[in-house]
Amino acid sequence: MSSCSAAQTPHLLNLSPEELAAWLQAGGQPAYRAGQLLQWVFHHRAESFQQMSNLPGELRRRLEQNYRLWTTRPLAHRRAPDGTEKLLLQLADGHSVECVLLRQGPQRRTVCISTQVGCAMGCVFCASGLDGVVRNLTRGEILEQVLRLQQLLEAEERLSHVVVMGMGEPLANLDELLPALDLLTSPQGLGLSHRRVTISTVGLPRGIRRLAELDRPYHLAVSLHAPSDSLRTQLVPVNRSIGLEAVLEAVEEYFRATGRRVTFEYVLLGGVNDSPQAARQLGRLLRPLRPLVNLIPYNPVAGLPYRTPDEQRVRRFVQELQRQGVQVQVRRRKGAGIEAACGQLRRRHVQQQTAESPAKP
């Protein structure tokens, strides 16, 4: 654990670029220093202020005294044969979050990041929410996941996509997520196109509307998992107070405002929501929105009673949806064997800790 004073030193990445520029200016530095500093952080993958060789030594010392560049400590690092890497990061307050690097083909390098410690949505098949939500991540903690994963890349690899699909409900933490994404998509940060950023939500209509009003065409993915309110409320308890209709209305607004087609995610749980009838019902429900449907065969979570449907059942579901004219893809499983589904690694770590120190409340 870091000392008390170190833990209180502010995180550099929690500053907006404007706040950083103001701090530098107050210390008598020219305006271009902020750009130089961010260049080191985002492009040169700097690990310390000391490495920032084009900053004056005195400034590097002042930065070290006043800010922390890193607040997390990697607790676990896994690498799967397909190139997927997963980090479990310990935050300054001892909690932990997961993030994942996915390698697809020669070019595509995607990071999957978390927005909360735990999750309040309670989806019954998901490891992240089994113990509820602890807190929101700060913008700096969100950015730090991207930077930690970027440091795992080879020199010739470039980060190309960000998916906000890790632990937590992103639309329940937009105040911290949006400034982080602003930096990732600005030339001062990573300069990623908005289109290469996907935000995955359980479907909170107010949050979807707020995104629609932003005028930043992020790709939106909505986790539906059921074609009817009764089944959805069983699987996604937060649906009880929202309802499918309100979710789909907000999605339509997002589509109208941004011109971006929305993706619907649907976790296939054997014998629960994977019947051909469910596929037909889903097709009829979604067809007017001309969506892309992403089917995700259930990734088993220890202790949960669900099962992954077999290939034939998945194929039948795909065919039924296609028959309704809905574009569909089955998400290939990446990182098998490293517990890459959100929340699994953290859960195991927390369980181990609890087992090792039963006296802890």
- Of the pair 39, 350, the CB lying nearest ligand SAH is at 350
* Whole-number Å distance between alpha carbons of 146 and 343: 17
- Of the pair 99, 342, the CB lying nearest ligand SAH is at 342
Residue among 42, 254, 298, 317 that touches ligand SAH (CB under 6 A) = 298
Task: Give the shortest CB-332-to-ligand SAH separation in angstroms.
Answer: 12
- Of the pair 101, 301, the CB lying nearest ligand SAH is at 301
**Segment near ligand SAH (CB under 6 A), from 90-98, 146-154, 298-306, 353-361?**
298-306
Confirm or reject binding of residue 49 to ligand SAH (CB under 6 A): no
Task: Give the shortest CB-59-to-ligand SAH separation in angstroms.
Answer: 39
* Cβ-based burial of 60 (10 A; exposed 0-12, middle 13-18, buried ≥19): middle
- Of the pair 217, 300, the CB lying nearest ligand SAH is at 300
What count of other Cβ atoms lies within 10 Å of the Cβ of residue 99? 23
Q: Within 13 Å of residue 34, how many CA atoms lie on the same side as its CB?
A: 21
Question: Among 85, 98, 144, 176, which one carries the catalytic annotation?
Answer: 98
* Whole-number Å distance between alpha carbons of 143 and 137: 10
What count of other Cβ atoms lies within 10 Å of the Cβ of residue 290? 12
Confirm or reject binding of residue 238 to ligand SAH (CB under 6 A): no
Residue 314, helix vs strand vs coil: helix
Residue among 296, 314, 336, 350 that touches ligand SAH (CB under 6 A) = 296
- Of the pair 11, 225, the CB lying nearest ligand SAH is at 225
- Of the pair 179, 343, the CB lying nearest ligand SAH is at 343
Confirm or reject binding of residue 165 to ligand SAH (CB under 6 A): yes
CB-based contacts of 279-283 (< 8 A; 24+ apart in sequence): 279/316, 279/317, 279/318, 279/320, 279/321, 280/320, 280/323, 280/324, 281/227, 281/228, 282/224, 282/227, 282/321, 282/326, 283/320, 283/321, 283/323, 283/324, 283/325, 283/326
Task: Give the shortest CB-99-to-ligand SAH separation in angstroms.
Answer: 12
Confirm or reject binding of residue 342 to ligand SAH (CB under 6 A): yes
DSSP conformation class of 49: G
Confirm or reject binding of residue 254 to ligand SAH (CB under 6 A): no
How many residues touch ligand SAH under the rule CB under 6 A: the total is: 18
Question: Among 112, 123, 126, 342, which one carries the catalytic annotation?
Answer: 342
- Of the pair 59, 171, the CB lying nearest ligand SAH is at 171
**Segment near ligand SAH (CB under 6 A), from 11-19, 24-32, 66-74, 297-305?**
297-305
Active site residue 98: yes
Confirm or reject binding of residue 59 to ligand SAH (CB under 6 A): no
* Whole-number Å distance between alpha carbons of 168 and 179: 17
Single-letter residue type at 314: V
- Of the pair 15, 199, the CB lying nearest ligand SAH is at 199
Active site residue 154: no
Q: Tokens standing for 230?
A: 């009764």
* Whole-number Å distance between alpha carbons of 139 and 174: 10
Pure H helices in the chain: 4-8, 17-26, 32-42, 57-66, 139-150, 174-184, 205-214, 229-235, 244-258, 276-286, 311-323, 344-356
Task: Give the shortest CB-302-to-ligand SAH separation in angstroms.
Answer: 10
Confirm or reject binding of residue 223 to ligand SAH (CB under 6 A): yes
Task: Give the shortest CB-61-to-ligand SAH separation in angstroms.
Answer: 41
Site string (183-202) toward ligand SAH, x via CB under 6 A: -----------------xxx
* Whole-number Å distance between alpha carbons of 321 and 180: 36
* 314, 273 Cβ separation under 8 angstroms: no
* Whole-number Å distance between alpha carbons of 317 and 273: 10
Binding site for ligand SAH (CB under 6 A): 121, 123, 125-126, 165, 169, 200-202, 223, 265, 267, 296, 298-299, 301, 341-342
Which residues form the catalytic set? 98, 342
